[in-house]
Amino acid sequence: MNWNRRDFLKNTSAATLAAMAGSVPLSTFLSSCNRKSLHSTADTVILLWMAGGMAHTDTFDPKKYTPFTKGMQANSVLSTFKSMPTILDGIHFSEGLQSIGKVMDKGTLIRSYVAADMGSILHSRHQYHWHTCYKPPQSVAAPHIGSWIAKELGPVNPVIPAFIDIGQRFNVGEGQELKAFHTAGFLGNEFGPFVVPDPSSGLESVRPPVGMSSSRFEKRNQLYNDLISKSPMGEFGSDYQKESLKRSMEQAYMLLRSPEAKAFDLSLEPKESYDIYNTGKFGLGCLMARRLTEQGARFISVTTEYEPFKNWDTHDNGYTRLIDMKKQIDGPVAQLIKDLERNGRLNRTLVILATEFSRDMMVEGRPDAKVPEQVQQPDVIQDIKNYGMHRHFTDGVSMLMFGGGIKKGSVYGKTADERPCKTIENPIVIDQVHQSIYHALGIAPDTHYVVEKRPFYTTPDGLGKPVTELFA
């Protein structure tokens, strides 16, 4: 990206003003008295984010398969892929996910996540809710779950950023909305994500531009500090936010000069291993996540990337698009689990595969809370572009969890076998997901900070409870 000085100042001002929106005086920034529990089962979290809405009936919760034929009734289609056995007796995945199916003896399959009813279904709103546990908009900037974890536990390795986000660009559709939850909010810049938009060029994220000497880089770093001090943040921000911004810059500078930065250089990976992961940006993101885990990262998010009407955002051609999406994720996810187990890190690394909501061919929303349809679905299918799960469905979403104290070879929850394929056993909602993650890390459920003279908890009102049945 080529920025001139005006663009730089404009973007810097926008960023600092956004950070100030969540700033609070240090004297009122008080944590609860019991932030860390005595017991934990995980040290690190890897979130594998299937951005765009992954259909449960065409991935990890297949129903009756109906192959495409011209003139077929749309309402007769529950799954557009064959059902394939996994390593677990009686548990099947959709065709194309056989590699992940072979490692399910190392984790738990959740088939009953229920996404929130927010009156309308928008990807950025539901993604904001999933990642922060708060429904937008909020009067203060809600922190990303990765930022909460970075704040409460700190880095495993002080050189490696505690929160790393891999694979999401912010110059695509809804980029500003995506930025809204890729932030530490009121917790301060130092706990925000270190962003790697493309893992194939990940080393470029942690080194000066080609041709720039160390001395010149240090001068630019000082100039940047001077610019920040004269920005709205420097003039109007709280002492806490200014110090947090300064520390975030110091952390980035420290990483740049460290040998651990090689973790971002995927060219150092043996070819045999690299080729297994090299299915695209997401696959290489999984490889980078494994390398960063080995170097002491605390929270790593790897996304298939959200861009409207692409990847899992299947408003049309659902069947043909999922063939490609499965190729992107199946091998790398399975290899990540096997590699973590092989190097002895899976037991203390919680790996989560999740998405904002599911999809169905006929139902928009959920059966008891339908919303206006966003996709025209013909009752009779003549074209394969209409064969697939194209509408947003919130009442039955699949999720996978591995390692970090999670049960092995387990299934939690159930959805109906006939449309609407909604959750009928053990529903789980987002505050339970978050508290289960915090439970694994040993972060107490009542963790909070006082913001604008009121407590702001990791989950709304501090009422969220972990699902202890997920743990061994």
Among 215-219, 386-390, 437-441, name the one with the lowest average pLDDT: 215-219
Q: Which of 29-33, 161-165, 248-252, 288-292 is the least confident region?
A: 29-33
* For residue 177, pLDDT beyond 80: yes
CATH of the domain at 34: 3.40.720
pLDDT value at residue 286: 98
DSSP 327-381: HHHHHHHHHHHHHHHHTT-GGGEEEEEE-S-EEESS-SEETTEE---SS---SEE
What is the pLDDT confidence band of residue 271, given thresholds at 50, 70 and 90? Answer: very high
Residue 331 is predicted with a pLDDT of: 98
Residue 347 has phi, psi (to 5 degrees) of -60, -30
- What's the rounded mean pLDDT across residues 199-224? 65
Q: Assign residue 131 a region: left if phi > 0, alpha if psi is -120 to 50, beta otherwise?
A: alpha
CA distance 233 to 17: 7
pLDDT of residue 438: 98
pLDDT band at 436 (very low <50, low <70, confident <90, very high): very high
pLDDT at residue 395, as a whole number: 96
pTM (predicted TM-score)? 0.87
41 — pLDDT class (breaks 50, 70, 90): very high
State which residues form the domain around 15. Answer: 5-470
Would strands 299-303 and 358-360 be described as parallel, antiparallel, or unpaired?
A: unpaired
Q: Are 295 and 112 in contact (CB under 8 A)?
A: no
Give the lowest-confidence range in 30-34, 381-385, 399-403, 449-453: 30-34
Q: Is pLDDT above 90 for 47?
A: yes
Count the domains in the chain: 1
Of 314, 316, 449, 353, whose CA–CA distance to 97 is shortest? Answer: 353
User: 135 is written with which tokens?
Assistant: 């429904």
Is 452 buried (19+), middle (13-18) or exposed (0-12) by CB count in 10 A? exposed
Indicate the pLDDT class of residue 455, thresholds 50, 70 and 90: very high
137 preceded by cis ω (within 30°)? yes
What confidence score (pLDDT) does residue 1 get?
A: 36
Going by pLDDT thresholds of 50, 70 and 90, the confidence category of residue 238 is low
Residue 102, SS3 per DSSP: coil
pLDDT at 28: 42
Segment 110-157, tens digit of pLDDT: 999 999 988 778 899 999 999 999 999 888 899 999 999 999 999 899
Residues 215-232 have a mean pLDDT of: 59
Predicted local confidence at residue 260, as pLDDT: 84
- CA torsion sign for 421, 425, 431, 434 is negative
Determine contact, residues 441/153, Cβ cutoff 8 Å.
yes
